[in-house]
């Protein structure tokens, strides 16, 4: 294990931001973690655990220690005739885990195909797409307490998963290193194809779903056709979360903006709201209606097809991106009285 100094993070974040970390280290094993926890650099500096860097925006250099997660390994932890618990180390690539499961005919995470990033970051914001979220299948999350070095296991309820949210993004932010994630998957067919875009795609292409791989393949193709590839246009996916408002507020909004779309999505909102009295307004629509879609300002811009995605056209700084994000937030607030909240972690 080697701690490096003044390390450039350009290749380690999908926004392609050239920021430096004061210290940088890669961890490959529990032995590395234990050794790292005893170093002065770890004990005396702010710390940032990094997976694939697909949900971060470095707004400046990081004056501390960046720990790149390389913990690998997947195992079948428990199994009966109907279910399988898969335990996966947190540095594995999420989509590789999806492939591992669909090739074994296991149902549960096929709708979450091709979401960039590592397994360890998935509980951070309860990743979700195409009508499914991690919370549908999460069993537990294993962590190290970064102060005491003790190991702990959070069960699903303790993770307090919500819409792109968890306890690790809130009360326990920065307090734990997630080392492994366990998921309960089904051997019995349990397809989830109600999400509109997915349903339409399957119907249009006359695809009869009989395996989780059928869904994984369809979702992957849809995603490739819709989302900008960070390898070509650096970005971090949806920059903002969709907006939740109470049903009564929505009624008022509909009077002023009859065309404003909204959705009652219980999968996203259940954990976040006690009474489930909320609806979701697509943030992309608010941004588009405010005239930002496709706009370019120097090196940064709003993607031409996806108003929710901010992009770096090359050489932008994190400050450039966050300045654009702030302008969008202010404009949407002024136009609709609604608050956009970043989904991306601003560092």
Ligand X SMILES: Cc1cc2nc3c(=O)[nH]c(=O)nc-3n(C[C@H](O)[C@H](O)[C@H](O)COP(=O)(O)OP(=O)(O)OC[C@H]3O[C@@H](n4cnc5c(N)ncnc54)[C@H](O)[C@@H]3O)c2cc1C
Catalytic sites, residue numbers: 164, 238, 343
Among positions 286-325, residues that touch ligand X (CB under 6 A) are none
SS3 content of the chain, % helix, strand, coil (to 5): 30, 30, 40
Contact in structure between 170 and 164 (CB atoms under 8 Å): no
Closer CB to ligand X, 9 or 253, in the complex? 9
Closer CB to ligand X, 118 or 242, in the complex? 118
The reply on whether position 237 binds ligand X by CB under 6 A is yes
Contact in structure between 284 and 306 (CB atoms under 8 Å): yes
The reply on whether position 55 binds ligand X by CB under 6 A is yes
SS3 47: strand
For residues 165 and 58, give the distance between their C-alpha atoms in angstroms, rounded to a whole number. 20
The reply on whether position 182 binds ligand X by CB under 6 A is no
User: For ligand X, how many residues bind (rule: CB under 6 A)?
Assistant: 32
Interface with ligand X (CB under 6 A), residue from 25, 42, 54, 140: 54
Among positions 60-89, residues that touch ligand X (CB under 6 A) are 69
The reply on whether position 120 binds ligand X by CB under 6 A is yes
Closer CB to ligand X, 220 or 289, in the complex? 220
Interface with ligand X (CB under 6 A), residue from 89, 178, 180, 321: 178
Tokens of 243: 């907006």
The pairing of strands 62-69 and 278-281 is unpaired
Q: Burial-class residue 215 by CB neighbours within 10 Å (0-12, 13-18, 19+).
A: buried
DSSP-derived letter for residue 3 is: -
The reply on whether position 216 binds ligand X by CB under 6 A is no
Among positions 13-52, residues that touch ligand X (CB under 6 A) are 14, 48-52
Q: Could you tell me which residues are beta bridge partners of residue 310?
A: 302
Apex CA 60: angle with CA 64 and CA 179, to 5°? 45
Closer CB to ligand X, 250 or 340, in the complex? 340
Binding-site ranges for ligand X (CB under 6 A) = 14, 48-56, 69, 90, 115-118, 120-122, 124-125, 127-129, 177-178, 227, 230, 235-237, 345
């Amino acid at each position: 294990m080697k701690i490096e100094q003044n390390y450039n993070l350009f290749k380690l974040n999908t926004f392609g931001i050239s920021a430096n970390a004061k210290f940088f280290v890669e961890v490959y094993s529990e032995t590395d973690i234990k050794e790292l926890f005893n170093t002065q650099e770890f004990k005396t500096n702010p710390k940032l655990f990094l997976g694939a860097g697909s949900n971060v925006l470095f707004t400046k250099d990081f004056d501390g220690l960046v720990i790149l997660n390389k913990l690998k390994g997947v195992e079948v932890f428990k199994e009966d005739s109907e279910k399988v618990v898969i335990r996966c180390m947190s540095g594995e690539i999420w989509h590789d885990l999806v492939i591992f499961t669909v090739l074994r005919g296991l149902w549960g995470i096929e709708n979450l195909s091709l979401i960039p990033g590592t397994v360890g970051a998935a509980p951070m914001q309860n990743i979700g797409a195409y009508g499914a979220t991690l919370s549908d299948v999460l069993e537990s999350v294993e962590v190290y307490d970064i102060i005491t070095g003790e190991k702990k296991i959070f069960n699903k309820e303790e993770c307090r998963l919500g819409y792109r949210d968890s306890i690790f993004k809130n009360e326990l932010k920065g307090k734990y290193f997630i080392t492994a994630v366990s998921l309960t998957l089904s051997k019995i067919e349990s397809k989830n194809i109600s999400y509109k875009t997915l349903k339409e795609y399957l119907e249009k292409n006359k695809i009869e779903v009989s395996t989780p791989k059928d869904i994984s393949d369809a979702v992957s193709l849809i995603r490739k056709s819709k989302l900008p590839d960070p390898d070509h246009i650096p970005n971090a996916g949806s920059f903002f979360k969709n907006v939740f408002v109470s049903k009564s507020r929505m009624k008022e909004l509909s009077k002023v903006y009859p065309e404003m779309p909204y959705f009652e999505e219980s999968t996203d909102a259940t954990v976040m709201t006690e009474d489930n009295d909320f609806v979701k307004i697509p943030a992309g629509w608010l941004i588009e209606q405010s005239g930002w879609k496709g706009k370019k300002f120097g090196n940064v811009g709003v993607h031409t097809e996806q108003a929710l995605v901010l992009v770096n056209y090359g050489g932008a700084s994190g400050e450039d991106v966050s300045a654009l994000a702030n302008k969008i937030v202010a404009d949407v607030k002024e136009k609709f009285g609604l608050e956009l909240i970043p989904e991306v972690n601003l560092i």
